[in-house]
Amino acid sequence: MRIFSVLLKKEFKLISRNRVILIISTLAPILQFLILPMVASYEFKNINLAIIDHDHSSWSSRLINKIKGSGYFIISGYENNFSEALIRMEKNEADVILQIPPGFEKNLVREKEQNLLVAINAINGTKAAIGGNYLGDIIKRFNKELTVEAMPVQGAVISRPNSIPLHRFNPNYNYRMTLVPGILCILVTMIGGFMASLNIVEEKEKGTIEQINVSPISKVAFILSKLIPFLIISNFIFSVGLILTKVIYGIGLQGDLITLYVAINIYILSVLGLGLLISTFANNQYQAIFIMYFLIMIFMLMSGLFTPVESMPDWARFMVHFIPLYYMIDVIRLIMLKGSGLIHILPQLSMMALLAVGLILLAMLNYRKTT
Amino acid sequence: MTNEPIIEIRELTKKFGNFTAVDHISFEVVKGEIFGFLGANGAGKTTAMRMLCGLSTPTSGEAKVAGYDIKTQTEKVKRMIGYMSQKFSLYDNLTVWENLEFYAGIYGLRKKEIREKGEQLIIQLQLQDSSNKLVGSLPLGWKQKLAFSIAIFHEPAVVFLDEPTGGVDPLTRRQFWEMIYEAAHRGITVFATTHYMDEAEYCDRVCIMVDGRVAALDSPAKLRASFEVSSMDDVFYQLARAATRVE
Amino acid sequence: MKILFGFIRKEIYHVLRDKWVLLILIFMPIIQILLFGFALSNEVKNNPIAVFDASKDSYSRQLTDKINASRYFDLYANVSSQSEIEELFKSGKIKVALCIPPRFGEAFEGSAPLQPQIILDATDLNISNQINQFLQNIIQSFIKQKKPEVRPTYSIIPEVRMMYNPQLKGAPNFVPGVMAMIMLLVCVLMTSVAIVKEKETGTMEVLLVSPMRPSIIIISKAIPYFILSVINYFIILAMNKYLLDVPVKGSLLLLTAVSFIFILTSLFLGILISHTSQTQQEAMFKSLIGMMLPTVLLSGFMFPIENMPLPLQFLSNIIPSRWYYSIIKNVMIQGSGLEIIWRQFAILGVMCLVLFIASIKKFKVRLE
């Protein structure tokens, strides 16, 4: 026990003198918090729209005004024909092209049906889909307006009533709700994963680990002495992040604090376990950084933070179940945004705990005082 | 110096694949002895020493350090020994005092003991003005003396020194060896590897390793006599000439 | 010259000897492309849905089946109460719920089809908006199918054409991004850490004492990473063509020229970072936080630049990868030639030059 406290004391002293850790611990949360969510808005505005109006009727003008008034689009120009508009698109001056055919209003009245051409620069897949959605929405609403206007007054059947969906859990229509908690997890991952791993590898590089291996310190004590400081630091960073989340983004905690901290600590342990495992393989920091970066990058991409896990093919969805970050991002969203309790997230927590224990055990097995 | 063996080695061997680094060595080191372990680079000295410290598992053979078997009682061995590596293995980012506290602590010394003995040691080493300085800022010679003192702070039965005097000026080396004498006098067996032949003269007995085997083992005086040369340097050249393993 | 080659050869051995790193360096682009190409997609499909069927007649069952049959939805469960729905949301098991009102089928026989209530998990608004669209479409088409005589007065149908990427594949979007990321990783992160490592172990001083000019020493350290980046570049191109089926529309020569300049720019950046760092950890963090993170965030790769607040858009302009990314996208996917991208090209070139000068100057200052 005494030996353990001696070990811990040394770890904390060294960490407090490590300029890099200190700067990162304070800088990273700020950076990620302020910049990332501001950057990562999927609410698209200022989509450049080129319009070709062959009709010049009152209805075509009304539609164009509606589009202008929506706030999503900027009219890049009124072109004379499609090929001219395409040139604009090639030059990246237009993201979307709307072409209204000649005789639009007349034909709509006569034949009750008309087509509009919407061409989207689909290179950016998301923007295309969303831009298409917006435009489709506006056209639909315009369509409805015309339909309602044409109705005789006495409450006839509204042919295709659209139900108004109930939006749960997001009263403020915040577009960043799911992103920010996810970023919190990434933060913790980087600190816990990178720093803990590098810490041990640095001892390997400098040779001080030999001194430890030659002494009667048990490897369990040694590993724990490395885990605990970073567990504490990660908790600290998480807490700061949590406060920033509330203060800057207005995203508060719907669930309870204890559940949240239990969850995040299980996650931190799994990340630390991974960092530890890597440190038993890597001989120097260069290698450790590289391996860690590689793994964390894959985790981030596959965790469901940026793209939905449901749209992955089966083999990918299977693999995702071995990634602790996947569970944590799910869980943090559940607890923070929906107020889920321990009962609701038990399966996720157990998986994470399993992974954490597995990784730490593997690391302990792999670490040898005697080679 | 008694005749009681503190290190007993029998047919100790270490192979790395096809390469035999240490080839069936056998000898004993007695308590309180200053035992020099010499050889060219690549002769197997460090590998052998690492096995005795419990840092490396032997491929075959046996050894006992302070009465404990290095294969089956490794952790018990570690409680009885001290170690100083080539890199001195002190934490650059901890102060002199903090390094002392740390290493003394992990060998189980109590706070009071550490404080008393520590203060004495600081005075002895004349580090009073630097006790709160980061070790990284100390000159090499001081680091070396400090590392040695810390290695024997817990009064181990044996202290293993791996090329302890690398890169230091002759005066500091002299002072270092005085510290070693003092420790041996207190009953601590000193097992040191080196390739400085003049330091061999300071040892009670010297073992010269060539190609992983013990080529010679005796006191410096007797070795010089048997090879009919005037310095340990010459003893070594005689033996090394026959060596097949070049670094 | 011979000495230079000697140095370069030593550096290459260094890198080659590190098997882990080499393996990952070659695999990383491959895995990233595999992931992005086959696993990651922005398409919102397979959404788990719970249905509360208070009607339980043939119409409601048919609607449920129709929803389940759609690739956008996966029926998770049929529930029998609102509270069950709440619990399912809270366990993250469903993203949307549909409540079919009682006498749903009856209403069809009459003249006023009843609207089922959609309950969305709106925490991710983009996704929930799309889910809403899809679900509404299915319901409306179901109603239309069952009651075809109910036709709207007017019907404006948008005919949507996807230009340059008809299958809405993510590939054209991310492959340029992956290229930029890998090159940055190798040229900025690994180079800077490798150089600082020599500083830390003291071998740098040994080199500095040799008759070799210091700038040559640094350059020789950077060359293996240059070669690795070039190899990666070709691997990515090859995978792009053969695995993902995305051909390079524009000039390969132009693409390669631009990529070379970007690689150089990144190398100089890495060298610059190594000058200003004392420890490997420092170099790593400066590279990660100073370069990689901004690249992912601000280069337009993951998130559109035009959505960002102005100061960030400003910041984005100073990042070399932003310009590189824009050029590659245009050349690879739209087949743009020099006349369209010359502005970005010039900017990238200037950045390259500036970083080159900065890294040399910094080195000279340090030596004094």
Say how far apart CA B244 and CA C303 lie, in whole Å. Answer: 65
CB atoms within 10 A of CB C166: 9
Q: What local confidence, expressed as pLDDT, does residue C168 receive? A: 53
B80 touches chain A (CB under 8 A): no
Residue C297 pLDDT greater than 80, yes or no: no
C76 domain residue, yes or no: yes
Instruction: Check CB contact under 8 Å for C38 and A43.
Output: no
Q: What local confidence, expressed as pLDDT, does residue A267 receive? A: 96
**Strand-pair category, B189-194 with B34-39:** parallel
Chain A residues contacting B via beta carbons under 8 Å:
2-3, 6-7, 9-10, 13-14, 17-18, 206-208, 210-218, 369-371
Higher pLDDT, B78 or C137: B78
Predicted model pTM = 0.84
Residue pLDDT, tens place only, B43-67 = 788 899 999 999 999 999 999 999 9
Mean pLDDT of A204-233: 90
A160 domain residue, yes or no: no
Contact B140, B168 (CB under 8 A): yes
- Which of B55, B89, B94 is opposite residue A13, by nearest beta carbon? B94
Buried-exposed string B154-176: b where 16+ CB fall within 10 A, e elsewhere: bebbbbbbbbbbeebeeebbeeb
Buried-exposed string A353-367: b where 16+ CB fall within 10 A, e elsewhere: bebbeebbeebbeeb
Residue A116 pLDDT greater than 60, yes or no: yes
Q: Which residue has the tokens 């026989």?
A: C109
Residue C367 pLDDT greater than 60, yes or no: no
Supply the mean pLDDT for chain C. 82
Q: What local confidence, expressed as pLDDT, does residue C363 receive? A: 67
Mean pLDDT of C321-325: 88
Instruction: Check CB contact under 8 Å for C116 and A38.
Output: no
Instruction: Check CB contact under 8 Å for A115 and C157.
Output: yes
Residue A158: pLDDT band (50, 70, 90) is very low
Q: In what order do the strands lie in the sheet with C155-163?
A: A73-78, A47-53, A96-100, A113-121, C155-163
Residue C368: pLDDT band (50, 70, 90) is very low
- How distant is the Cα of C366 from the closest Cα of chain A, in angstroms? 21
Chain A residues with CB under 8 Å of C153 CB are 112, 146-147, 150-151, 159
Same structural domain, A213 and A361: yes
Q: What local confidence, expressed as pLDDT, does residue B217 receive? A: 93
Q: What local confidence, expressed as pLDDT, does residue C118 receive? A: 92
**DSSP alpha helices (H): ranges in A195-256?**
196-206, 208-214, 219-249
What amino acid is encoded at A80 in this protein?
N
- Number of domains observed in the structure of chain A: 2
Q: Which two tokens mark A18? A: 């490590």
A 223-282 → C contacts, CB under 8 A: 281-282
Same structural domain, A204 and A240: yes
Give the Cα-Cα-Cα angle A236, A9, B134 (nearest 5 degrees): 110
Residue pLDDT, tens place only, C172-209 = 667 777 778 888 877 888 888 888 888 887 777 666 66
DSSP labels, C79-123: ESSHHHHHHHHHTT--SEEEEEPTTHHHHHHSS-PPPPEEEEETT
Supply the mean pLDDT for chain B. 89
Instruction: Check CB contact under 8 Å for A10 and B98.
Output: yes
- Which of C32, C122, C144 is opposite residue A170, by nearest beta carbon? C122
What amino acid is encoded at C326 in this protein?
S
Contact C183, C263 (CB under 8 A): yes
A61 domain residue, yes or no: yes
A 103-122 → C contacts, CB under 8 A: 108, 112-122
**DSSP alpha helices (H): ranges in C163-213?**
171-184, 191-201, 203-209
Q: Which two tokens mark C137? A: 């479409």
Say how far apart CA C186 and CA C291 lie, in whole Å. Answer: 12
Query: C77 exposed, middle or buried (CB, 10 Å; 0-12, 13-18, 19+)?
Result: middle
Higher pLDDT, C257 or C140: C257
Instruction: Check CB contact under 8 Å for A18 and B92.
Output: no
Checking phi first, is residue A253 left (phi over 0); if not, alpha (psi -120 to 50) or beta? Answer: beta
- Minimal-distance CA residue of chain A relative to B87: A207
Residue A96 pLDDT greater than 60, yes or no: yes
- Minimal-distance CA residue of chain A relative to B90: A208
Same structural domain, A289 and A271: yes
Same structural domain, A224 and A303: yes
Residue A128 pLDDT greater than 70, yes or no: no
Same structural domain, C117 and C245: no
Query: C146 exposed, middle or buried (CB, 10 Å; 0-12, 13-18, 19+)?
Result: middle
Same structural domain, A218 and A316: yes
- Minimal-distance CA residue of chain A relative to C152: A159
- Which of A7, A207, A369 is opposite residue B87, by nearest beta carbon? A207
Domain containing C120: what range?
Answer: 47-146
Residue pLDDT, tens place only, C133-169 = 888 888 888 887 887 766 666 778 778 777 776 555 5
Same structural domain, A230 and A99: no
Q: What local confidence, expressed as pLDDT, does residue A153 receive? A: 54
- Which of A18, A208, A213 is opposite residue B55, by nearest beta carbon? A213
Give the Cα-Cα-Cα angle C114, C119, C122 (nearest 5 degrees): 145
Q: What local confidence, expressed as pLDDT, does residue A270 receive? A: 95
Checking phi first, is residue C278 left (phi over 0); if not, alpha (psi -120 to 50) or beta? Answer: alpha
* A223: three-class secondary structure by DSSP: helix
Residue pLDDT, tens place only, A279-301 = 998 888 888 888 888 888 889 88
**Strand-pair category, C47-53 with C73-79:** parallel
Q: What local confidence, expressed as pLDDT, does residue C279 receive? A: 84
Same structural domain, A182 and A56: no
Residue pLDDT, tens place only, C75-122 = 999 999 989 999 999 999 999 999 998 888 888 777 677 788 999 999
Residue A352 pLDDT greater than 90, yes or no: yes
Instruction: Check CB contact under 8 Å for A123 and C164.
Output: yes
Question: Which residues, 6+ apart, have CB-to-CB distance to A327 below 8 Å?
Answer: A267, A348, A349, A351, A352
C162 domain residue, yes or no: no
Q: Which two tokens mark A263? A: 């969850």
CATH number at residue A87: 3.40.1710.10
User: Does chain C touch chain A (at least 3 C-beta pairs within 8 Å)?
Assistant: yes
DSSP labels, A311-358: GS-HHHHHHHTT-HHHHHHHHHHHHHHH---HHHHHHHHHHHHHHHHH
Mean pLDDT of C310-318: 84
What amino acid is encoded at B119 in this protein?
E
Same structural domain, C97 and C188: no
- Which of A35, A108, A120 is opposite residue C312, by nearest beta carbon? A35
Q: What local confidence, expressed as pLDDT, does residue A304 receive? A: 87
Over pLDDT 70: what percentage of chain A? 93
- How distant is the Cα of C221 from the closest Cα of chain A, in angstroms? 14
Instruction: Check CB contact under 8 Å for B87 and A9.
Output: no
Q: Which two tokens mark A234? A: 């990660």
User: Does chain B touch chain A (at least 3 C-beta pairs within 8 Å)?
Assistant: yes
Topology, domain B5-89+157-241: Rossmann fold (3.40.50)
| C-alpha to C-alpha distances, C294 to A140, A297, C234, C282, nearest whole angstrom | 39, 15, 25, 17
Last-in-domain residue among A116, A150, A184: A150
Q: What is the ipTM of this complex?
A: 0.84
Residue pLDDT, tens place only, C335-347 = 778 887 888 889 9
Chain B residues with CB under 8 Å of A22 CB are none
Instruction: Check CB contact under 8 Å for A160 and C44.
Output: no
Say how far apart CA C208 and CA C218 lie, in whole Å. Answer: 10
Long-range CB contacts (within 8 A, 24+) of B198-203: B198/B231, B198/B232, B198/B233, B199/B36, B199/B165, B199/B173, B200/B36, B200/B38, B200/B232, B201/B232, B202/B34, B202/B36, B202/B177, B203/B34, B203/B35, B203/B36
Same structural domain, A99 and A193: no
Same structural domain, A94 and A196: no
Residue pLDDT, tens place only, A241-254 = 899 888 888 888 99
Same structural domain, C221 and C249: yes
Over pLDDT 70: what percentage of chain C? 90
CB atoms within 10 A of CB C145: 10
Question: Which residues, 6+ apart, have CB-to-CB distance to A118 below 8 Å?
Answer: A96, A97, A98, A99, A132, A135, A136, C158, C159, C160, C161
Contact A211, B89 (CB under 8 A): yes
Q: Which residue has the tokens 């002494």?
A: A215
Domain containing A53: what range?
Answer: 47-150
- Which of A39, A128, A284 is opposite residue C303, by nearest beta carbon? A39
A287 domain residue, yes or no: yes
Same structural domain, A199 and A316: yes
Buried-exposed string C17-45: b where 16+ CB fall within 10 A, e elsewhere: ebebbeebbeebbebbbbbbbbbbbbbbb
Chain C residues with CB under 8 Å of A28 CB are 289
Which of C137, C149, C162, C323 to probe the A interface (max A CBs under 10 A)?
C162
Q: What local confidence, expressed as pLDDT, does residue C151 receive? A: 61
C203 touches chain A (CB under 8 A): no
C-alpha closest to that of B191 among B203, B201, B179: B203
Say how far apart CA B230 and CA A63 lie, in whole Å. Answer: 108
Lowest mean per-residue pLDDT among A265-279, C34-48, C146-160: C146-160
Say how far apart CA C168 and CA C186 lie, in whole Å. Answer: 30
Mean pLDDT of A320-336: 94
DSSP tag of B136: G
C342 touches chain A (CB under 8 A): no
Residue pLDDT, tens place only, A60-88 = 999 999 998 888 888 888 999 999 998 88
Say how far apart CA C121 and CA A177 lie, in whole Å. Answer: 12
CATH number at residue C129: 3.40.1710.10
- Which of A91, A166, A316 is opposite residue C117, by nearest beta carbon? A166
Q: What local confidence, expressed as pLDDT, does residue C45 receive? A: 85
Same structural domain, C244 and C343: yes
Residue pLDDT, tens place only, A161-191 = 556 788 888 888 777 788 888 888 988 888 7
Same structural domain, A191 and A250: yes
- How distant is the Cα of A285 from the closest Cα of chain B, in angstroms? 17
| C-alpha to C-alpha distances, B195 to A218, A264, B45, B206, B240, nearest whole angstrom | 33, 54, 10, 12, 12
Contact A356, A276 (CB under 8 A): no
Q: Which residue has the tokens 């030659």?
A: A214
Q: Which helix (H) or strand (E) holds C29?
A: helix C19-34
Chain A residues with CB under 8 Å of C130 CB are 129, 133
C163 domain residue, yes or no: no
Chain C residues with CB under 8 Å of A291 CB are 20, 24
Over pLDDT 70: what percentage of chain B? 97
CB atoms within 10 A of CB C53: 20
Mean pLDDT of A95-116: 87
- How distant is the Cα of A345 from the closest Cα of chain C, in angstroms? 6
A170 domain residue, yes or no: no
B35 touches chain A (CB under 8 A): no
C-alpha closest to that of C157 among A159, A112, A73, A134: A112
- How distant is the Cα of A357 from the closest Cα of chain B, in angstroms? 26
Q: Report CA B157 to chain centroid distance, whole Å.
A: 12
Residue B157 pLDDT greater than 50, yes or no: yes
What amino acid is encoded at B155 in this protein?
E
Same structural domain, C293 and C244: yes
Q: Report CA C87 to chain centroid distance, whole Å.
A: 34
Chain B residues with CB under 8 Å of A6 CB are 101-102, 105-106
B69 touches chain A (CB under 8 A): no
- Which of A208, A210, A217 is opposite residue B91, by nearest beta carbon? A208
Same structural domain, A216 and A319: yes
Residue C218 pLDDT greater than 80, yes or no: no
C206 touches chain A (CB under 8 A): no
Instruction: Check CB contact under 8 Å for C112 and A157.
Output: yes
Instruction: Check CB contact under 8 Å for C91 and A27.
Output: no
Chain A residues with CB under 8 Å of C170 CB are 125
Higher pLDDT, A6 or C114: A6
